[in-house]
Amino acid sequence: MTALLTDWHGLWDLIEQRAAATPDAPMARDEHGRRLSFAAYRDAAERVAAGLATRGVGEGTPVSWQLPTWISSTVLVGALARLGAVQNPMLPIYREREVGFITRQTGARLLIVPGVWRGVDYPAMAAAAVADRGADAPEILVADHDLPEDDPATLAPPPPGASGPFRAGVRVEAPWRWVFYTSGTTADPKGAKHTDMTVGASAYGMAVALELRPDDRNALVFPFTHIGGIGWLFAGLMAGLEQVLVEAFVPDTAIPVLARADVTIAGAGTFFHLAYLEAQRARPGGRLFPSARAFVGGGAAKPPQLHEQVKAELGGAGVVSGYGLTECPIVTMATPSDPDDKLARTEGRATPGVAIRVVGLDGRERGPGEEGELRVRGPQCFLGYLDAALDAEAFDAEGWFRTGDLGVVDAEGYVAITGRVKDIIIRKGENISAKEVEDLLFGHPKIADAAVIGLPDPASGERACAVVVPTDPSDPPTLPELFGHLREQGLMVQKIPEQLELVDALPRNPAGKVLKHELRARYAGT
C-alpha cells in the first residue's frame, strides 16, 4: 500500500499537503463529466473561502449546509475548513421540522441549500424552517453547483487545526469543527460534536484496512453530508484516490456511471450491494465492475450469504464491512484479506486505537463469544452532544460510549453485530433477536428484503412480525412457508414470526438502515 498522508494538523493542512504531493492527480468526477484535480480542488476551496468570508464567515462561525453529493459540496467543505468554521452538514432528506430544529440548536449564521432538487423547493423549505426566528434567522444562500468566490489574497492565514499533528490511533486535541446529526431512526436528531482529528481517525482506520491507494476509484453513492461521506473525503485526501460522485443513488442511472468509471471500491451497504447484484444478473457474460477490489459494507445489517453472492458474481474480495456510529465512526473494519467466514459474518476488527468492551444487560462484562452491549473508546469518538444533557446516558461511569448495539467479539477480535439493545422482542419472557430471524429469512428464495419488528400483544406482551419484500410480487411467501423455512434452519418455534406483512420496499434512511419505528407505527394496530 502507498504511504498515507498522516502528518497533518487539520483538514485544511491535509488538503494543502495532498495538493502539493499529487497536484495533477484526479480528486473527483461526477455523473455530468465534471472533474477536479487535487490542486484545482485546493484552489477552488480558497476562492470560495474568500467569497464566504465576505458574508461574515470566519473561525468558529456555525454554518449549516444541505447540498447533494456534488463536487461543489466537497469544495464547500474545503472552503469552510480554510476559514475554521464549524460546519453542520445536513442530510438532503431533512425538511422544515428537522432543518428548523437543527439550525436553531447549532446557532447557524448561514444556511446553504440547493435550488429545486429532485422536486423539492429547498429555498422555500429553508425559509419556512427559520421563519419564526426573526432577526436571529440565518442568512440563506442558494447554491446550485456554484458558490460565491473572491480573491484568495484577501484571506487571513488559516486558523490552527489542532494542538499537534495527526497520529494514528491516538486522540489528538483539536477545536470542534463539525456537528453531525444522527440519521433519524429516533424522533429528534442528536447533534454530535466532532473535530478534524476524530473524523480523520475514522478515515485512517478505514484507509488502512481497505489498503487504499492512489489508483483507487471510490464509488461515493450515499449522501456526502453523512459522516461517512465526509470520512471518505478525508480518506481520499490521505490516500490520493479519486471519488466518483453520484448525487442520488437511482440504480438505473447511477450504476452505469460507476461502471464507466471502472470503480475499484464500491459501497456502501446491503441496499447498494443488492442493487449491484440485480444489475450484474441482468448482464451475464461480463463483470459490472471488472476492477473492483472490495464492496464496502456498513450502516445496516447484512445477511451472511450476501458476501458469498457478491464475491461469486461481482468479484473482488466480496463484502468488506465496517461498523460505527455517527458518534464513533469506523470502530471496526474488515480487510480484503480476511477469511471468507469472517467477511460474511462479522464487521472486522477494531481499528487503530479503539478499545471495545462487551457488557451484558445485567451490567457485567462478557468474555469472547458472549453477547452484550458494545461499549467503545477510540480516537474517533465524538466530544459529546450539542445538547450536553444527553451525555450522561451516552457514556457509562468509566467514560465508555454506550453504542446501544448488541454484539459478540470472538477470540480473534472479530466483531459481529447481533442486534440493538432496543431491538429485542420479548415474547412471553423469551428474548428474540430480530437480526437472528432476519438473517435466516434472507435465505428464503421468495424474499428479497426483510425486517422483523416487535408489536404489542395483549397475550404475549410482544409478537414478532416479519415485514417482507417479495422477490416476485406475483408469488409472495406465505406465513406457513416462512414457518417451514425457519424450522428447517433450526430456529426455535418461540422465535418464529406470528405475523407477515408484504411491502414493495422497506423504509430506510440514507445509510441503509431500516426505519423500524415507521414499521412499528404502521402495523401496531394490526
CA 457 to CA 89: how far, in whole Å? 40
Structural domains of the chain sorted by starting position, each given as residue range(s) with its CATH number in brackets: 249-420 (3.40.50.12780), 428-523 (3.30.300.30)
Position with higher pLDDT, 93 vs 477: 477
Q: Which of these, 173, 254, 169, lies nearest to 220 by C-alpha position?
A: 254
Tens digits of residue pLDDT in 136-178: 999 999 999 999 999 999 999 999 999 999 999 999 999 999 9
Whole-number pLDDT of residue 472: 95
Q: Kindly report the CA angle at 360 between 354 and 363, in degrees rounded to 5?
A: 95
Whole-number pLDDT of residue 420: 77
Intra-chain end-to-end CA distance of the chain, in Å: 55
Q: Which of 6-10, 172-176, 402-406 has the lowest mean pLDDT?
A: 402-406
> What letter does residue 157 receive in the DSSP assignment?
P
Residue 185 has pLDDT above 50, yes or no: no
Residue 371 has pLDDT above 50, yes or no: yes
Q: Which of these, 127, 143, 118, lies nearest to 52 by C-alpha position?
A: 143
Position with higher pLDDT, 235 vs 404: 235
pLDDT band at 184 (very low <50, low <70, confident <90, very high): very low
Tens digits of residue pLDDT in 476-507: 999 999 999 999 988 888 889 999 999 999 99
CA 439 to CA 441: how far, in whole Å? 6
Tens digits of residue pLDDT in 311-370: 999 999 999 999 999 999 999 999 999 999 999 999 999 999 999 999 998 899 999 999
Whole-number pLDDT of residue 2: 64
Whole-number pLDDT of residue 337: 97
Residue 509 has pLDDT above 90, yes or no: no
Q: What is the DSSP string of 300-367?
A: S---THHHHHHHHHT-TT-EEEEE--SSS--SEE--TTS-HHHHHH---EEPTT-EEEEE-TTS-B--
Give residue 104's Cα distance to chain centre. Answer: 24
Work out whether the CA dihedral 508, 514, 517, 523 comes out positive or negative.
positive
Whole-number pLDDT of residue 457: 84
Residue 1 has pLDDT above 60, yes or no: no
Whole-number pLDDT of residue 21: 98
Cβ of 247: how many Cβ atoms within 10 Å? Answer: 25
What value does the mean pLDDT of the chain take? Answer: 94
pLDDT band at 187 (very low <50, low <70, confident <90, very high): low
- C-alpha cell of residue 85: 468554521
pLDDT band at 296 (very low <50, low <70, confident <90, very high): very high
> What letter does residue 5 receive in the DSSP assignment?
P
> What letter does residue 140 receive in the DSSP assignment?
E
| Residue 72: its H or E element | helix 71-83
pLDDT band at 508 (very low <50, low <70, confident <90, very high): confident
What percent of the chain shows pLDDT beyond 90?
83
CA 120 to CA 68: how far, in whole Å? 12
CA 84 to CA 80: how far, in whole Å? 6
pLDDT band at 200 (very low <50, low <70, confident <90, very high): very high
pLDDT band at 298 (very low <50, low <70, confident <90, very high): confident
Tens digits of residue pLDDT in 37-76: 999 999 999 999 999 999 999 999 999 999 999 999 999 9
Find the mean pLDDT for residues 91-118.
95
Cα–Cα distance list, 152 to 22, 112, 156, 455, 491 (Å): 21, 21, 9, 58, 64
Residue 300 has pLDDT above 90, yes or no: no
CA 19 to CA 185: how far, in whole Å? 38
pLDDT band at 183 (very low <50, low <70, confident <90, very high): low
